[in-house]
Structure 1
Amino acid sequence: MSVPKNLYIYPWESYTENNCNSFVIDGSVRILIDPGHAHLLHHLEARMVRDGFSLEDIHVALATHPHPDHCEGLVKLKELGALIAMHEEALAFLSRFRAQWEQMTGQRMPDFPVDFFIKEGRLELGSEVLQVLETPGHAPGSVCFYWQEPGVLFSGDVVFVQSVGRVDLPGGHAGLLARSLEKIMSLDSQVLCPGHGPVLEGRGAVKENFYLIRQYFFAHQASPSSPQ
């Protein structure tokens, strides 16, 4: 299984500044998943331009969870004409997280005028269909997107290659993260597109990654399917 031709992967590879991987699905509705920090959007756009489109060509921008390095750029995308969306609990968390946001970024937290809320279930965007899975644990309102037809899982910060999202930030919960991991590892994923680090290709490699993570990180959990 190779990466679909209409999926564009933009990994963040800097070791000096934190930001997330971004992904564009180039369909009849052009979708951007996790735009990252607002002040780093010019890096993303420079790479997009080489592929034949720009931020202004994005129709819908989605955030996997409400951390600045994933969702802050939504505001700029909204200004450029895109519809923006996140989970309702993610937006509620942002209102509670304001003080921490401003301490972390040194800037005022923007308002997020979302056009619609993402929720568990089927999300149709033009010719493409994403399955939304609610996956809390790393952050409230965290979701993963499963693009079923090509078997691509956009996991945000729930799971990476050989690692999982941290749970020591506000709203983090190890038991919930273990439960979320169990939820998404049952999918027939052939490509894992995480929020940070490398993309993983191949059904066997993705499955093995899930089993290794469950064994290494959650072997101590009495019941991974139940929050502790």
Structure 2
Amino acid sequence: MKLRDRLYAYPWESMTENNCNAYLIDGPVRTLIDPGHAHALHHLEAKMAQDGFTFEDVHLALATHPHPDHCEGLLALRDLGVKTAMHVDADSFIRSFNDQWRQMTGQEMPEFQMDFYLKEGTLELGTESLQVLETPGHAPGSVCLLWEGQGVLFSGDVVFAQSVGRVDLPGGDAAQLIESLEKLMGLDVELLCPGHGPWIEGRGAVKENFYIIRQYIFGTGR
């Protein structure tokens, strides 16, 4: 689904199975953000095909954080030759759960091999660039990505429409999440693209969303 010039959104709309929204930036370095669960990749592939894209057309795949419903698909994409990246703390978090994975499944956790790690600062994508913002709280190594010059914020599971990411999962930290939200509130965002649920269009609507969340979390008004 084309949202605007060179930006495509692939929302997850199932009410019975968890997965995330995925986004594609069609630029010199064609970039897929949050491919989702590995077993659900065929759904994403079918939606991308409607816009004329295949996984082989993707140059780079990024995960905003280390939860499987966002990053697991990186494994299959890397096998297709797609470069993959996440924050180093996200990668470390995944590796720390190998024992738990073995106990639950009887198998070794799949090994994630990143081509590079995301860090605070600018990620150059040819003539485009993403500002990488370290935003922990929902999960270790969580990042948000601001598409510079376009006013588009890919917020992963940090902030949604009138909600925020949960902090009761391993590695969650409410204090860190509040700090991350404060960091995002000062940005000039025209389009908020979250990891789940609807996106928010318009600077006023995005700011209003942050005000509502701040009131809910901090118990303060504007």
On whether the aligned pair clears a TM of 0.5, the verdict is yes
Distance 1:89 1:52, change over 3 A: same
Considering Cα pairs closer than 8 Å and 6+ residues apart, tell me whether 1 or 2 has the greater RCO: 1
Structure-1 residue corresponding to 2:80: 80
Distance 1:46 1:16, change over 3 A: same
Deviations 1:31-84 (A, max 9, x none): 000000001000000010110011111100000000000000001110011100
Shift of 1:107: 6.7
Structure-1 residue corresponding to 2:193: 193
Contact 1:3 1:191 in 2 (8 A): no
1:59-208 equivalences under 5 Å are 59-101=59-101, 108-208=108-208
2:13 is the alignment partner of 1:13: yes
Contact 1:153 1:192 in 2 (8 A): yes
Percentage identity across paired residues of the two chains: 69
Shift of 1:110: 1.1
Aligned with 2:182: secondary structure? helix
Aligned with 1:131: secondary structure? strand
Distance in 2 between residues matched to 1:194 and 1:106, nearest whole Å: 34
CA RMSD of aligned residues (A): 1.7
Shift of 1:108: 4.7
Aligned with 2:144: secondary structure? strand
Matched pairs, number: 219
Shift of 1:104: 7.6
- Which structure 1 residue ranges, 4+ long, deviate > 4 Å from structure 2? 99-108
Distance in 1 between residues matched to 2:103 and 2:219, nearest whole Å: 35
Q: Which amino acid letter does the alignment assign opposite residue 63 of structure 1?
A: A
Shift of 1:98: 2.8
Distance 1:206 1:100, change over 3 A: farther
Aligned with 2:211: secondary structure? helix
TM-score (norm 1): 0.92
TM-score (norm 2): 0.94
Q: Which amino acid letter does the alignment assign opposite residue 165 of structure 1?
A: G
